[in-house]
Structure formats: C-alpha cells, structure tokens
Chains A and B, each alone.
Chain A
Amino acid sequence: MLDAGRHPNIEMLAYSTVEKVARRNGGFRATVLRKARYVTEDLCNACGDCSAKCPTKVPDAFNMGLGERKAIYLYFDQGIPSVMTIDEENCRYFATGKCRVCEKMCKKGAVDFEQKDRRITIDAGAIILATGLSVMDPTPMTQYGYGTIPNVITGLEYERLINATGPTGGHLLRPSDGTLAHRLAYVQCAGSRDMNYCDYCSSVCCMCSIKDAMLGREHDPDSTSYIFHTDLRNVGKWFQRYQIRGEEEYGIQFVRGRIAEVQNGPSDSPVVWYEDTRTRKVESLEVDMVVLAMAAMPSTDAKPLARTLGVDVDKYGFVVTDDATPSSTNVDGIYACGFCKGPCDIPESVAQASAAASRASARVLGEE
C-alpha cells in the first residue's frame, strides 16, 4: 500500500465514494464524492497535536470498538494518505457550534472547518474492483453469545488486541476485567460452511487462527490455544507444515468438533460445549477467552457499488467472473480482483491484483 501511495502514476482518493459511472468514448466517466475531512491534506503531517487536545472520545472502529479515538483522528497509523480527519457526526463544534480546539492547536493551520464535500469526475479507460471483504456479524449466532458474554470476541478483534499498536498495546486483555487471557478457544467455521449463513468455506480462517494462536504463544509463554474445527483446510503450499509446527512448537491443541454453544462461566470465563468427534464424547471446556473465526463475506459496500457499475454479483455479493478470464466481469472494461470475487488470502489477492492490473493496462493501451 505504501508503495502504491508513493507511486507517481497512482493517485489515491481515500475518504471517497464512487457515486456514478457512465460510459464515455469506450471508457468510463466516474463521479466521485470526496467527503470533507475538514483538514487540508497537503498541510497536515499527522503530528497529532490536534487530537491530543480534542475533548470528544469515540469508540474506535478500526480497533473494532475495543479502544477509543478522538473526533479528530487518524484512521490507522499506516493509513494513506497519512492525514487527520474530523468526524462530523461526533465533533463538538458541529454539534454545538463551539470548540475548534484542534484548529488552535494545529501549528500548520491545516484544520479547515469551511471545507465542503466535493464531487470530481474522472475519465477512465478501465475500472478494477477490489472492494474486498467484511466479516459476518456474529450476533445472529446467539449460541455463541457474542455481545452478551463479554469474553467472546471475533478474530479481527483478536488481531487488534494482539497488535502492538492496538488498544491494549499487544496484550491479550480480557474485555470483562482487563486480566491477561491465557487459555483461548478458537471457534472455526463460525458462520462459514453453514447453510443458515454462508454456505461456503471462507478459506482463510483455518490458517488465520493457527497464525493467531502462534502469535498468542509468542506474546505469552503460558498461552494455550484450542482450535475447534470441522476439518482444517490448510490447502496451500507448506500450510500443512505450518499447522504441524503450530502443534509441535506452539502447543496448539486441535480438537475435531465444531463448538455447539458457549456459556458464560464463573468470573466471566466462557465455557465451550462440543462433541469431540474422535472420542465421540460431549465435553465442556472453560477458557479465558473465545475467539470466533467468523465467516468472511463480500464487503457490505460492494453491492451498491456493483449496482452502480452494472456488475453481476452472486447471492452473497461476490462479483461474478468467468473461469476462463478470471479478472473480467460481465461489463467490458471492468475488472475485479481479491476477496470481492471470492475467498482468498493476501498472496492470492496480490496475484489477482497484478492480473487485473495487466488486463486493465492492456485495454487502456489499446492492446486488447
């Protein structure tokens, strides 16, 4: 992303929405809404003086609501462009007409309350869709108690907790009491391979949970992870070896059997119930924290965009592509890559992105 941000031929329009796309001279004319950040991008250097003094605290969406940010904030540290944004909905000035503390703090004069939403048009020879994924909302699966049992979290939340720049500085602290979680149960296929929700395999969660469990042990030598699975789908090169390493070097306990339900136990330690299908016994296990490997679905924003573009999506919202030309959509000149087409991991997304880019370039350069 950093490379793309620095590339002279790539312009990134963050905080923007594609509103309309029309056919024009064999190419496209797109109308893009550039939402007002109330910060001048060219002046801001993300020093953070403004947010340090901002009086308004908001749950941090990037940290899955696990931490807080201010009303003037940096979405995340490595974001591009690295500039502050004022969140109009929560900012005190927009609500009451008073404050503007950030404006006073900024030595660069970058805060600009007069900034307005802008619409720009872009003439393009080709469009590439890479809208990616959203994680399924765990609340309908009430048997797992997400939202009611405090120490049940999702895989993405786990990734924020274990991250050094995350809300807990990389410590696995339990949401209920802030103590360190040592014993973790991973619930695989939560919502995936489930005809009630997503009847496909999300493809990344098995490997992802193994990775997360290894990270847990690296951060805390007392950490024990139990991965409850239907069957592990480690289908890539060396993936199997990775799993074995997880078991042998990181002490991961793999249990064959999907978690049936999670109950809250004493001192908010969740208890998972399952059938160990190898021993054919129904068991329960009390752990410090439960991690739901939730199903990954096409991005929630992708469907409206696909409609705008006239691109076909399937019942889940995945962009439909042809097996023979896997980068092309039904619309001539519009290509797709990454998770918006179907489950895939990062290396595969990168490969698909290159493929889509070369198809698009060929078209723009008139070679197709």
Chain B
Amino acid sequence: MLEETIQRTKAYYCLECGICTGSCPVSRHHENFSPRLMVERALLREEGPSLDDREVWSCLTCGTCSARCPSLVDYNEFTRETRVAAREGGWAGVDTHAGTILAFMELQTGAAGKRDLSWIAEGLRTSRKGGVLFYTGCLPYFGIVFRDYGVDAVGMANSTIRLMNAAGVRPVVSSDERCCGHDPYWTGDADTMKTLAKKNLRMIEETGARKVVFACPECYAMFKLVYPRYFGPLGFEVAHVTEFLVPYAAKGKLAFGERERTITYQDPCRLGRYAGVYDAPRELLTAVPGLEIAEMARTRAEALCCGSSAWVSCTRVNKQIQLERLAEAAETGATTLVTGCPKCNIHLACAARDGDGEEKIEIKFVTDVMAEALES
C-alpha cells in the first residue's frame, strides 16, 4: 500500500530540498507539520507516515508544495492515499462542524430523495432538460449550515443563475443532482465519491446537457480532473461559471453598469493550482466598468490557501492562515475580497468574524459581485 503510494506519487524522487515544508502554509504556523518529513518517513520505511498521526489530516491539499516541488512529488495525492489507508485502519480526522457537512454528503449516496429546488429565486428561469446544466453542488446545503456565518450560499447559486439568464441561457438545474464527492474523496473516502459520481454522470446524461457549469471550483476540479480518472472521458464540456461567462461579456451579451470600486481576488486552490484557471475570473470582474483589481502579494499560482479544506481540520493553525490572508487582502487597500470559490468565502468570512476586526474587508463570491453589477 505504502509502496504503491510512493511509486504513484514519485515520492522516491524527493531530494530533501525542503521547498515543500518551506512553502507550506500549515508548517509556518505549526512546527510539527512537515510534508518533507512525511515523505522522508515513508521513504525510510518507518512504517510510513503513521496512520494514527493526526498530522495526516492537517494538510490543506492546497497544492503549493506540489506545484513547487523540483522533483514533481505529488504530495497532495500522497496525502490523499495516506488518508485512505488511515481510514481503512480505523482512523479518521476530526470533522469540522460536528461532522454535519460530511454527513450530508454521505447521505446523498443513496438515502436522499429528489433535491428540493424551492430555493431557486422567483423570476429566475431554469429548465429540466437542455444543453447547459448548472451544477449547484452543495450550495443549497451550505445555505442552511452557514446562514449564521453571514454567508448566503443559496444567494450565490441564485446569482449564478441570474447571470446565466442575463446572458440568455436558461440552465438545467436537476433535482437528481448529488454532491460531487470532493470532500469525501480528499478525506480518503473514494467509495463515497465513486457512488456520487456515478449518480451525477447518469443525471447529466438524462438531462442531455452538453456543457456543465460550476460555481464551486471543487466540484469543477472533480469533474475535470478526477472523474475522468475513474470513469474515462466525460461526454460533456465543463466550465467554471467565470470561464462560461467571459465570452458573453466579451461579445457584449452581458452588460454591466459602472461600479467604481477596488477589489482583490482570492485564487481558489482548485481553480488555480489544480485547474490552471487564473485569467477568467479576472477578465470577468474587469468587464464591470470602473472595477479595478488590486492584487495581493501572493497571487495566482502563489496564492495563499483560504486555510481549510474538506472539513477535516479547523484549528488555531487554520485560523492563523485565514487571518494572515485577510491581512494580506486588507493591505491591498481593496474594499472587497472577491473569492472564486464558495468555500473560500465561507472560511474567510468565518475567520473575519473571529479576527480582532483589523482585517475588516467585505468578502464576496464572484457571481454575487457580478450579478450586483448587472445593468437592469
């Protein structure tokens, strides 16, 4: 098992340069956590990274280390496979939010029925069959769980539909949709992911969609990068909502009113380092006349992670990373921190509530900002 992981992730190439640990946002705040030492322990066959080590769950899978590793060691995959082994051995992380989120994801493997679609705002046009499908992911669920955090996740889904409508697209929103399985997958539960994926693929086939649009980069990355690995090439195109809308904005089919403001943009790990989409959100945002982007010091491929992922770790360390990022955002002088991912939004908004108030900056999801700027 460990041997296979070492082979698959090319951990044996490691030259102990320390770039990974020096790059890791977790290691900066937590001296017991070191991706390099995890790899080293595996290579020295010290029973590998011990599976009951809680640090197995500390990695954000942000991809910073892997992106910089001169030996191309795929540390994220190394982490994921270690988690699979840990889970098989009976160890699991401490789920955040008392496990609610991972539980409602698991619920969707079978027991759940047809999704309730009554959250779709009045006046928005959606359909049951058609060429373009909006995959809402967990937004309706997050709308429930994160209401008290000042995050309106249902609003994010609605603003996405509103923008698509404004572009003349009436997306399919299906009540047979299931969670994409991203979070179970990254917590070492590939079986749940596979069950969910099969249901989603069948659902998409039944709607006849040729293009699937995502608001959440994590769902997007699952479809783009992980599903094909398990199920072969997809029979449809995938696009993040920003990628989908840019051509409409460029052709003038989406018109925005003047909005004088300076924003800064948080590159989500899945959209950026994983899927390589950096320009589309920026192009879309700057399609709003008067809107300017002030980049943070660490941006694009070097962007700092929002500090938490897959709902397995939310500790002092995660909060420190988030506050670090909020301070960096505030330093740009921007009034709004725009995120390309609903989860970044949730994590940063949560930290902003915990912070001492110095990092006060409005945090908004990209489609909310765009929908507000629509000419109407």
Contact = CB atoms under 8 A, between A and B. Distances in A.
B297 A274 contact: no
B302 A142 contact: yes
Contacts of B18: 256-258, 260, 274-277
Nearest to B71: A195
B27 interface: yes
A258 B70 contact: yes
A261 B302 contact: yes
Contacts of A142: 300-302
Contacts of B297: 263-264
B17 A257 contact: yes
Contact of A195 (B22, B28, B72): B72
Interface string B19-46: 1111110011001001011000000000
A193 B17 CA distance: 10
A260 B22 contact: yes
A245 B269 CA distance: 45
A152 interface: no
A98 interface: no
Contact of A143 (B13, B20, B68): B68
B22 A261 contact: yes
A260 B19 contact: yes
A196 interface: yes
Nearest to B65: A260
A364 interface: no
B15 interface: yes
Contacts of B37: 280
B372 interface: no
Which DSSP category, helix, strand, loop or mixed, fits chain A's interface? strand
Contacts of A264: 297
Interface string A124-141: 000000000000000000
Interface residues of B, number: 26
A193 B19 CA distance: 13
A66 to B, nearest CB: 24
A7 interface: no
Contact of A282 (B15, B16, B21, B68): B21
A281 B31 CA distance: 7
Contact of B22 (A193, A194, A196, A273): A273
Interface size bracket, A side: 20 to 34
A196 B27 CA distance: 23
B302 A143 contact: yes
A291 interface: no
Interface in B182-219: none
B27 A282 contact: yes
A189 interface: yes
Contacts of A282: 21-22, 24, 27-28, 31
Contacts of A256: 18
Contact of A196 (B13, B17, B72, B298): B72
Interface in A251-268: 256-261, 263-264
Interface in B150-193: none
B16 A277 contact: yes
A153 B19 CA distance: 20
Interface string A294-318: 0000000000000000000000000
A82 interface: no
B176 to A, nearest CB: 42
B15 A274 contact: no
B63 to A, nearest CB: 13
A143 B72 contact: no
A48 to B, nearest CB: 44
Nearest to A276: B18
A194 B15 CA distance: 10
A76 B20 CA distance: 42
Nearest to B70: A194
Interface in A216-241: 230
Contacts of B28: 273, 282
Contact of A280 (B23, B24, B34, B71): B34
A281 B29 CA distance: 11
B81 to A, nearest CB: 21
Interface string B242-257: 0000000000000000
A273 B324 CA distance: 15
Nearest to A191: B70
A264 B302 CA distance: 13
Nearest to B10: A195
Q: Which of A259, A261, A274, A282 has the most chain B CB atoms closer than 10 A to its own CB?
A: A282
Contacts of A258: 17-19, 22, 70
B303 to A, nearest CB: 10
B22 A274 contact: yes
Interface string B303-328: 00000000000000000000000000
Contacts of B19: 258-260, 275
Interface string B276-306: 0000000000000000000001101110000
Contacts of A276: 18
A147 B199 CA distance: 48
Interface in B39-94: 68, 70-72
Given A275-B34, A282-B31, A257 B70 contact: no
A199 B70 CA distance: 8
A260 B300 CA distance: 16
A275 B70 contact: no
Contacts of A257: 17-18, 22
Given A258-B17, A273-B22, A275-B21, A196 B70 contact: yes
A258 B21 CA distance: 10
Given A143-B23, A275-B22, 7 more contacts: A193-B15, A256-B18, A263-B298, A264-B297, A275-B34, A277-B16, A277-B18
5 contacts: A230-B17, A259-B22, A263-B297, A275-B19, A282-B21
Interface of A: 142-143, 189, 193-196, 230, 256-261, 263-264, 273-277, 280-282
Q: Which 10 A-B pairs have the closest CB atoms?
A: A260-B22, A275-B18, A194-B70, A257-B18, A260-B23, A275-B21, A258-B17, A275-B22, A274-B22, A277-B18
